[in-house]
Amino acid sequence: MQPSNEPFILKLPHPYLTTYTATNVAAKDEPVRYQIQQAAIQNKDTGIPPPTPLHDDTIQFTKIALLAEDSTPPAGDNSSWARARRTPHSTISWTGERPSAAQVWLITYFIISLHPLVESFRIIFDGDDASALATELYGTGLFIPHPRSLDPSAASDGHLLLRGTFWQGAGSPFGPRPAWTPMLDANNKPITAQYPLFPFQTAPTTQSSVTSRHTSHPVRPAKPAAGSIIYSRWIPHLGEHLTFIAVNYRDPEHLNLFHTWQNDPRVAAGWNETGTLEEHQEYLRKLHEDPHVFAVFAAFEGKLFGYHELYWVLESPVGAHYQAGLYDRGRSSMVGDSSFRGPARASAWWSAIVHYFFLDDPRTDAIVGESRAAASSASSFAYDFAHGFHVVKFLDFPNKRSALKMVNREKFFTLSPLVWDGEKAVRPSLDALSKL
């Protein structure tokens, strides 16, 4: 956590980009109390105003704290009530009208960003209509009631904020899509007409690579508009926005960049897709027309640095090698600009790809990846393990042996590995931090 005298900065995702700061407004000898303010910092890209005000000068929240030792349940009590009492607590207070659910969402965004390794928080509401506010927030899934003890006299003040449900999009003030996965058109303007979750209906597919394979799978929704931002998240430790942008094979910038990267010997060693500009345009055109996969670029502050192919596993070659779920997703990734390599940035985009998949369709329960089973893939294995993946089995393709790796929704959001811990080398696993 940053020192209390330094404002902590958060910026909303696209298309809003509004900058907010949390500043300690307490007197010198008083406990830390934060107030959120909209900053005058100018963004390189101009966003649009959020649909509802997300801050109010009459609202404050305290620095997280723990109960006194004599009030903390013993370690041997692992009941839901006892775990809730042991979680860090913060008080959100207001002197005017009660905050909106959207304003509380922004406060929780700050709390979780300030303390990204804390799994849950006990939040106390202090102000008029606190009970009505809690009821509204329960309806969003952002908060749940404090569990009760078998002892009716035991304290149960506060409401539980769960990091995992926050990162799944609970309480997002921007409509039915989670905050970090906007629905935008080709000009990156919000698509206002939004509909219920894409319905389930099966359809057949025949694939012909080495041998023909027939599959039955759900009809997939239309892919995002070419050139649109499909994921956006502010990365506090970098002070930059990370975005994923749907590839437009007709865009000369996109095509030339893809062509340059694929002919880089470092990239070609893993992808084996060297070729002419015309061949690469045809490659991207086929991906564009394939409803089962789509290509995206990754960017920090608008600077394109990486490329990913995102696919539905059931219709992919990988899907033939295990009992794939109807909505399992997978990806193949590369960093084209080597200046963006290293754990500080890789930790951001690696987690973001998995995050995007789980947010894009709540029916997706597992994400897979496959890497060549060789020493040259050690870095890929380390990053996958750090984000909750495990090796399921080995896959024997005609051209290589690969390891199939997988992470499920529950494990990913329990770990919530959406932060870099500052280490220069990626950790082998985050499981040590989980409560599994």
Q: Catalytic residues, which ones?
A: 370
- Contact between 431 and 412 under an 8 Å Cβ cutoff? The reply is no
SS3 letters across the chain: CCCCCCCEEEECCCCCCCEEEEEECCCCCCCCEEEEEECCCCCCCCCCCCCCCCCCCCEEEECCECCCHHHCCCCCCCCHHHHHHHCCEEEEEECCCCCCHHHHHHHHHHHHHHCCCCCEEEEEEECCCHHHHHHHHHCCCCEEECCCCCCCCCCCCCEEEEHHHHHCCCCCCCCCCCCCCCCECCCCCECCCCCCCCCCCEEEEEEECCCEEEEEEECCCCCCCCCCEEEEEEECCCCEEEEEEECCCCCHHHHHHHHHHHCCHHHHHHHCCCCCHHHHHHHHHHHHHCCCEEEEEEEECCEEEEEEEEEEHHHCHHHHHCCCCCCCEEEEEEECCHHHCCHHHHHHHHHHHHHHHHHHCCCCCEEEEEEECCHHHHHHHHHHHHCCCEEEEEEECCCCEEEEEEEEHHHHHHHCCCCCCCCCCCCCCCHHHCCC
